[in-house]
Structures are given as C-alpha cells and as structure tokens.
A and B are shown apart, each in its own frame.
Chain A
Amino acid sequence: DTGVSQDPRHKITKRGQNVTFRCDPISEHNRLYWYRQTLGQGPEFLTYFQNEAQLEKSRLLSDRFSAERPKGSFSTLEIQRTEQGDSAMYLCASSEGQVPGNTIYFGEGSWLTVV
C-alpha cells in the first residue's frame, strides 16, 4: 500500500475555469477527508465521507465546491468557476474504522493556483 495519493499534484488554471482533484485513499479506509491549506496556515477541514456518504461539510465549502465518493473508494473534489481566493493546497486524508482518534493519513496534496 502506497498511502494516500492525490492527482494532479499541481494545477494552474485561469479564473472562472473548473478544476477537479482526485484522491485515492489507503485501501479499506472507510473514512475520507478533504482539507484546504493556505500559505502560513494550518489545514482547515472541508468535508468528510464515511464510505460513499458525505456526512459533514464545512461552511468553507461554498456552492462552487462539490465532493463525491461514488463507490466508497476514490474521491473527487471539483471547484467550479474558480476564484483567486481558491488558490491553496487541497489535502486529502483517510482513516479506518469507527473509532475516534484513529490515525489520519494525509496525501501530499494538490496545489491549485488560480491566475
């Protein structure tokens, strides 16, 4: 198992375009998270899946953002009509089981630059 993988690692897009990021969690991890990290800040929680169900969304996740995990395996995060304020690193993470406090494993992140 190679850990949480994210694609693409870097994306430069023009304002107004749509972008999609993909995350492949660690096999058999039923929990998947998306976080956003801007320069000089810690990651901020965006949304969370338990298997294919999206159970919680942060207020940071505006209507332009949508996340899916259709088969309870990989997940996609789409940003529509990108704005310069969307420039950040988008981190995916996964964990197993129902027990709180289980280790959350992070991917290397997808850098988004909106120009």
Chain B
Amino acid sequence: AQTVTQSQPEMSVQEAETVTLSCTYDTSESNYYLFWYKQPPSRQMILVIRQEAYKQQNATENRFSVNFQKAAKSFSLKISDSQLGDTAMYFCAFMKRDTGTASKLTFGTGTRLQVTL
C-alpha cells in the first residue's frame, strides 16, 4: 500500500513571495505518478501539476514547479509570485502506473495555504 505524508498542516505566505509545500511518500512501486491538487474554499479539487516518476525532469506549470527526488521519495511544490487566488488547501497525491487497476489516487492530509497582503 502507498502512503502520502504532508507534514505542514498550515502555511502562510505574503503576496508575490515564494512558498514551498512538502510531500513525502512511501511505495514499493517503480512506475507511478505524483500530483498536486488544489482545493479552494469552494471545494472543487483542481489539478495543479503532475509528475511522471520515470521522468527525471521536474514538472513546471507557469508559477508552479515541483522538486521531485525519487530516491528520497520527496515531491515538493513551489509556488512563485504567490497570488491571493492561491489561497486553498493543497493535496499531494500518488497514483500507480498500472493499466490493470483503477487509476485511483492516494492523498495526503493536505496543507492549508493562506496568501496574505
């Protein structure tokens, strides 16, 4: 079974600053995906960024980037130039890369990010 750990329940960052959210995971799988999802106060979960474990290059999506350390099983999210609209709960999630099973996500407990003026 896979586990995902987010050790920062809450974080705060000032607008325009940079913040890094931490995530570690445990798995015996060699092929998998990692995701960061954002859940704003309206509660709809939105995909922020995805990383394929077999790719060494860290994924980036505009102001969002990850630091993927496969050996350390670490997958942190960096948000640059933080905006008020980034205020949300952020979940790290794991998915096995296996066509024979459901593409189900295993989530961490989340980090609540507050962006302040």
Contact = CB atoms under 8 A, between A and B. Distances in A.
Given A100-B33, A100-B97, A101-B50, A31 B45 contact: no
Given A43-B107, A103-B50, A89 B43 contact: yes
Contacts, number: 68
Contact of A102 (B98, B103, B104): B103
B102 A56 contact: yes
Interface in A53-86: 55-56
Contacts of A93: 45
A79 B46 CA distance: 26
A44 interface: yes
A21 interface: no
B60 interface: no
B93 to A, nearest CB: 8
Interface in A71-115: 89, 91, 93, 95, 98-109
B97 A56 contact: no
B15 to A, nearest CB: 26
Interface residues of B, number: 28
B47 A103 contact: yes
Interface residues of A, number: 29
A87 to B, nearest CB: 15
Contacts of B52: 101
A106 B91 CA distance: 13
A109 B43 contact: yes
B101 interface: yes
9 contacts: A33-B104, A45-B106, A48-B102, A95-B103, A98-B99, A103-B50, A108-B42, A108-B43, A109-B44
Interface of B: 4, 33, 37, 42-47, 50, 52, 91, 93, 95-99, 101-110
5 tightest A-B contacts by CB?
A: A42-B107, A106-B45, A48-B102, A45-B104, A101-B33
Given A33-B104, A95-B103, A98-B99, 9 more contacts: A40-B109, A41-B110, A42-B4, A56-B102, A93-B45, A101-B52, A103-B47, A107-B44, A108-B42
